[in-house]
Amino acid sequence: MHPLITLLLAATFIPAMAAAPPSSNGIPLPGNYKFWRLIGVSHRDDNTSLRAIVGNTTAMTAIHQGRTDPWPDGTILGKLVWKDSKHPLWDAAIVPGKLSHIEFMVKDSSKFARTGGWGFARWVGMELKPLDNEGGKPCFECHKAASKNDYVFTRPAALP
Amino acid sequence: MHPLITLLLAATFIPAMAAAPPSSNGIPLPGNYKFWRLIGVSHRDDNTSLRAIVGNTTAMTAIHQGRTDPWPDGTILGKLVWKDSKHPLWDAAIVPGKLSHIEFMVKDSSKFARTGGWGFARWVGMELKPLDNEGGKPCFECHKAASKNDYVFTRPAALP
C-alpha cells in the first residue's frame, strides 16, 4: 500500500494526544510523538533501561537525505525510556517495565546556541512531570561526548 | 499539532518502500512497515539481539480499544531485529548493529487456523531474503508458550 494511503487511513484513528506543561526551559511537549517514526532502540546496562528513539518529519527527512551532520533546525529527536523488566514467558528477554521518562532534543541553532544548538527537555513518568533541568545544562554536559556527531548519541538503525 | 496535520505533513516526505518476494507461505512484505507506530522494544540475551515491535493501524486501534485478546483479524505485528552492538561512545549501551531480519505476524483466524490464527513470515538481512519457514510451523511451536495471550509475546509498552 502506498504510504500516503497508509497515512490517510491512520488518520481515521486518532488517539488522545499527550499533554503536559512545558519543560523548565520553555520547550513544549510534542503531543504527537506517538506518531513519529522509529530511528533506533537501545538498552543501557548502567541504569537498566530500554529506549526507543523516534524522530519528527524533519528528522526523518534529514536521515533519508544524509543531512544529519549537523541536523537541520526544526529537528526533534525523542527518547522513550522504560525501566527493565523480565518477560514473564521468556527469561532471557528484557522488555519495557514502568515508564521512566520521555525526553526530547530540539534543534534550533540560534535559540539554543549555548547548548550546542539543541534544547533539551524531559518529562518524568506517566504523569509527565516536567524535569527541572537547569535549562538543559547537565544534559548538554553529557552529550558533549558526542560532539563530533552534532551532540547526538543515536545512529539511525539499518532498515531495508 | 493535531495528528491529522502531522500525518498530512509526513505525507510530503515519502521514502522508498521496502519490496521483496512474498514469504514461503505466501505472505506479502508490508512495504510500508517503516510508517507503523511503535508498540514496544526488547533485548534478548539468549541470541544477543535488540528488537522494535511495531503495528499496523488495525493493531494500534486494537491496543487503544483494549481488544487484543484475541487480536482482531487484519492485525499485523512487525518485529525488527538487529544484532547487538556496543555504542562506540557509551560502553554500557547496547545499540542496533547489523540487521538480522524483519518478521511479521498476520492475523487471519480462518486462513491461518492451523497456526493459532496467525501467519508468520520472516525476511532476512538488508537484502530481505524470504525465510523458508515451513508454513510458519516452527514459529508457531515457539509462540505456543504465549497461548494465553493469543500467541503474542509482546505486551504494549506504557506511554503517556
pLDDT tens-digit readout, B12-36: 555 568 899 999 889 999 999 999 9
Q: Do A82 and B145 touch (CB under 8 A)?
A: no
Answer for the pair A54, A33: CB distance below 8 angstroms, yes or no: yes
- The tally of domains found in chain B comes to 1
In A, which residues are within 8 Å of B8 by CB distance?
Answer: 7, 11
Interchain CB distance below 8 Å, B159 and A102: yes
Q: Which residues of B touch A40 (CB under 8 A)?
A: 95-96
Tell me: pLDDT of B80 over 90.
Answer: yes
| CATH number where B94 lies | 3.50.70.20
Interface of A with B in 30-89 (CB under 8 A): 31-32, 34-35, 37-38, 40-46, 50-52, 54, 57, 60-61, 64, 80, 82, 87, 89
Asked, for residue A3, whether it belongs to a domain, the answer is no
Asked if the structure places residue A32 within a domain, the reply is: yes
**Does B5 score more than 80 pLDDT?**
no
For residue A74, the enclosing domain spans 27-149
Buried b (16+ CB within 10 A) or exposed e, A10-39: bbeeebebbebeebebebebbbbbbbbbbb
pLDDT at residue B60 is higher than 60: yes
Nearest chain A alpha carbon to B85 = A42
- Quick one: average pLDDT of B124-153? 95
Considering the domain boundaries, does residue A16 fall inside one? no
Q: Which three cell numbers stand for residue B29?
A: 512484505
pLDDT of residue B133: 86
Q: What is the pLDDT of residue B24?
A: 82
Q: What is the pLDDT of residue A4?
A: 62
Write phi, then psi, for A135 (nearest 5 degrees).
65, 20
Residue B149 scores a pLDDT above 90: yes
At how many degrees (to 10) do helices B3-10 and A57-65 cross? 20
Q: Does the residue A20 lie in any domain?
A: no
Report if residue B17 sits inside a domain: no
* Residue A107 counted as domain residue: yes
**Shortest Cα distance from B122 to chain A (angstroms)?**
13
- Cβ neighbors of A126 (< 8 A, separation 6 or more) are A99, B158, B160
Mean pLDDT per 10-residue interval, chain A, length 160 residues: 57 68 92 96 97 98 96 98 97 97 98 96 97 90 97 97
Torsion of CA A67, B97, A56, B72, to 10 degrees: 150
Residue B1 clears pLDDT 70, i.e. is over it: no
The model's confidence at residue B122, banded by pLDDT at 50, 70 and 90, is very high
Chain B interface mutation, best of A42, A65, A124, A144, highest count of B Cβ atoms under 10 Å:
A42
In this complex, is the C-beta atom of B113 within 8 Å of any C-beta atom belonging to chain A?
A: no
Contacts of B154 in chain A (CB under 8 A): 95
Question: What's the confidence (pLDDT) of residue A134?
Answer: 86
Q: Higher model confidence: residue B65 or residue A14?
A: B65
Å from B134 to nearest chain A CA?
A: 24
Distance from CA of B125 to the nearest CA of A (A): 8
Query: How buried is A75 (Cβ within 10 angstroms: 0-12 exposed, 13-18 middle, 19+ buried)?
Result: buried
Residue-wise pLDDT tens digits, A69-80: 999 999 999 999
Residue B11 lies in a domain: no
Tell me whether residues B32 and A6 touch, CB distance under 8 A. Answer: yes
A150: left (phi over 0), alpha (psi -120 to 50) or beta: left
The per-residue pLDDT for A25 is 85
Is residue A159, in this structure, part of any structural domain at all?
no
The predicted pLDDT at position B135 comes to 83
* Interchain CB distance below 8 Å, A95 and B40: yes
